[in-house]
Structure 1
Amino acid sequence: MGEVQGVARSISNAPPAHYTLKIQLFSLLESTSGQKHESAEFEAGGKWYVSSFSINHKNVKDHHSLSLYLDMSNTSSLKLGWEVYAVFRFFLLDQNKDNYLVVQDALLKEKRFHGLKLEWGIDQFLSLKAFNDASNGYLVEETCVFGAEIENFSKSDTECFESKVFVTGDQKWKIQLYPKGRRHGNGSHLSLYLVIADSTTLSPASKIYAEFTLRILDQVQARHIVGKGNYLFNASNQETGWARFATLSYFNEPGNGLLVTDVCLVEAEVTIHGIARAL
């Protein structure tokens, strides 16, 4: 199929998690070279659609290429100045082997979408020569199947995610996760904290000594990221944790299993060793 610099190709037996598009009579699309063709809208942490072009690259040996792009749609509901960071992959079914060619940008996996940049993609997804070769299984009897998978996690207007409130030692707690970091982890790390959820239960003289564990689960290989600590909570100190719990590059890397189809799993264990209250 030929290699293109900056493009990573792999084979997957699993179908795309978010969207599959079956096209029949593909030659009708191919005959309109240079025109944009759009898929139906689909949901994956936002509204998206896939668009395609057939482009003539004069400086490439197999110069007619199939190009695929991911576009954001329905952005009117987002706040002014919004930004979305997403990692995405395109899929193409090999109908002979019943597996998928997976293609993504190898140089800059996380793309920044915003009001002036609603579209990212791969200009040279696959040469039309390779695509039309029946032995490759991509186009069979004028039919092909494309797909898209998106890991859309962080939005600049979502500074902090909070867990549901849970109770340990008659005290209400919650977990706070900052997807783009906080304090000295801002912009480089994911930040994670254990927080007293209801501060009204603490009088000025109340103190709670707790041992705790916070972890983000590796959903693929069970190699979880774990932080452990002890802390004396009181009315003035209601949270503790790590501003640099995990680097954003490691967290967003698909193979590390921390973010799978736009989902991360966070756990907390809290043990109360002592409670002091004013008489």
Structure 2
Amino acid sequence: MEKKRKEMSEETIKLEENRYVTPNTTICNGILRSKRGQRPAHYMLRINSYSKLAVTKLESYESDVFEAGGFNWRMVVYLRGKNQVRDQHISMYLAIAKREELNAVREVFVHFKFFVYDQIRDQYLVIQDVTNGYLVDDSCVFGAEVFVVQCSGNWECLTTLDNKFKDSYIWKLSNYSQIVEEFCESEAFSIKGKTWKLRVYPRGDRSPKNEFLSIFLVLNEDESPVARKKWFAEYTLRVKNQSVPPRTWESNVAAWLSQRRNTWGFSQFLSLKDLNEYTLIIECQITCLSEVEHFKQ
């Protein structure tokens, strides 16, 4: 039987694939596509302003964790495709979220489908991998599994805010070398509807002390009781020294921020040997901001 399967011609495989085709389904390269009106049972991910997000430095996006079949999963979306199909397609993958769950079972057999929502026709394109060779020598093997679909109501929305803006905040820090506190923060400032602060450690935030200037951008948002949020930010941290001649240092950041992990920057932004006791001008320029909201009905 195994030998016969391997010797099957492409024409035979094509004939077998055609057996799955109904007026509402198609098969291409072993991938079955059908349409239905019922929403996905376990999780949904909505991406707003896709064209804006696709030109950022974000290569892929992993959804929040959702549970199905006693395991925890994530959807992984490559915004510009992966490997040979880059810049031609959107690539989608299912990934197990907690690898330690595999320790007891070693492997998991998964029957899964991807859905793409047709917003014009209000229906879902269902994409499913179809393995060839179900019917060989007019014989096949059947099994039965009953899967009761119960909608969890969990979903998330990824929105890219206008990435054409380049809002900046400038903070003048006088006599920074005389600051005795471990760190100091700027006043709160608003960019694209979010509240931020700059945090500076004049002698560094970790050992060895008194060698580096540490600078961080802090997201100053309160925890929302309605929806959990996180943000993908691309920004530049810039320091200008008022010496003669003046000097400028800058570093670029692309990072995820949330209420729980609300700080991102550089512990070794620059060496203190390159500074003097003049006023520092610290600038933060946010060039792109995307927002993710998680919902549960």
Fold-level similarity (TM above 0.5)? no
Q: Calculate the TM-score normalised by the size of structure 2.
A: 0.38
* Structure (1 or 2) with the larger CA radius of gyration: 2
Q: TM-score, normalised by structure 1?
A: 0.40
- Structure with more strand by fraction: 1
